[in-house]
């Protein structure tokens, strides 16, 4: 995925710049997704709005699109279109919102999974170890209570080992958990720099390997903070029930 900035024209033809990745395989996605231009569609991960705007381009005046995103930043990218509804929610709650909007079935559902460059490039969100003073937040929904900092402060050594092993596939997960437990007994781990320093004895010297290990470490925390796998399971199971025949 590219990290270049994307310029989307608004209805007034002014340009806004969004630091979200450019959607890949866009044409192919639309060919498979849009089976009925008059139908109802779901974009489960609106983000910068690339897929949302492309779906709208393929719909007739009778079509409808509901785009979900739990990140409040995404609302700034919502297009002004009578056929469009932005849902400020995690896509795992799809059934609730379809019932709320009195939608019985939808003709297609799309989700572009993963973290956008916008999150990695915004220091205060805490998703990247590139920014030393960044707070260890990692919440997609900033109204949620559980942050990476809270996990590092309150999870037991066994719980930390579990998330690093299961979500980061780190073979030395137990040693990482031990390093964190040792560090937090001295002072709180609140920034990216604090966490990197806590696990420094276990980091490879080779830059590429060091980067890979830190990426997996931060990934594991992010997945736990946002319950990403649980949300995906809920979304996939409910999506099947929401789809119309042929969708």
- In Å, how far from its chain's centre is CA 122? 13
* Main-chain dihedrals φ then ψ at residue 18, nearest 5 degrees: -125, 135
- The partner residues of 41 in beta bridges, in order of sequence, read 65, 108
H runs (alpha helix) in the chain: 26-33, 50-58, 94-100, 117-120, 148-154, 157-168, 173-184, 192-198, 207-226, 228-242
Of the two residues 154 and 117, the one the predictor is more confident about is: 154
Give the mean pLDDT of the chain: 89
Cα-Cα-Cα-Cα dihedral sign, residues 19, 61, 25, 98: positive
pLDDT, position 103: 97
Show the domains of the chain with their CATH numbers.
Answer: 6-114 (3.40.50.150), 122-226 (1.10.150.170)
Q: Alpha carbon of 222 to those of 120, 128, 153, 229: distances in Å?
A: 11, 10, 15, 11
**Token pair of 224, please?**
């736990």
The string of pLDDT tens digits covering residues 100-114 is 999 999 999 999 987
Summary count for the chain: helices (H), strands (E): 10, 6
Output the six-digit token pair for 188. 């709180």
- Start-to-end CA span in the chain (Å): 27
**Residue of higher predicted confidence among 196 and 14:** 196
- Rg of the chain, C-alpha, whole Å: 20
- As given in the structure block, the two tokens for residue 64 are 């409808």
pLDDT at 54 over 80: yes
Least confident of 23-37, 150-164, 177-191, 220-234: 23-37
Query: Which residues does residue 16 pair with via DSSP β-bridges, in sequence order?
Result: 8
Mean pLDDT of 19-45: 86
Q: Enter the pTM of the model.
A: 0.85
């Amino acid at each position: 995925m590219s990290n270049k900035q994307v310029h989307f024209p608004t209805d007034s033809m002014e340009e806004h710049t969004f630091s979200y990745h450019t959607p890949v395989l866009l044409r192919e996605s639309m060919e498979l997704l849009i089976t009925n231009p008059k139908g109802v569609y779901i974009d489960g991960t609106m983000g910068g709005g690339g897929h949302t705007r492309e779906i709208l381009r393929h719909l007739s005046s009778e079509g409808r699109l509901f785009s979900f995103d739990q990140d409040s930043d995404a609302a700034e990218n919502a297009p002004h279109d009578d056929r469009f509804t932005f849902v400020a929610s995690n896509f795992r709650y799809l059934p609730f919102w379809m019932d709320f909007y009195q939608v019985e079935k939808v003709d297609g559902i799309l989700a572009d999974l993963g973290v956008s460059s916008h999150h990695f490039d915004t220091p205060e969100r805490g998703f990247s170890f590139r920014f030393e003073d960044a707070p260890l937040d990692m919440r997609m929904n900033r109204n949620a209570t559980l942050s990476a900092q809270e996990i590092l402060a309150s999870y037991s050594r066994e719980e930390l080992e579990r998330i690093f092993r299961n979500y980061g596939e780190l073979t030395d997960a137990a040693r990482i958990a031990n390093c964190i437990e040792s560090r937090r007994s001295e002072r709180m781990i609140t920034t990216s720099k604090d966490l990197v320093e806590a696990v420094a004895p276990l980091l490879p010297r080779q830059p590429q390997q060091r980067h890979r290990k830190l990426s997996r470490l931060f990934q594991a925390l992010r997945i736990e903070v946002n319950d990403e796998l649980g949300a995906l399971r809920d979304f996939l199971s409910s999506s099947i029930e929401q789809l119309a025949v042929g969708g």
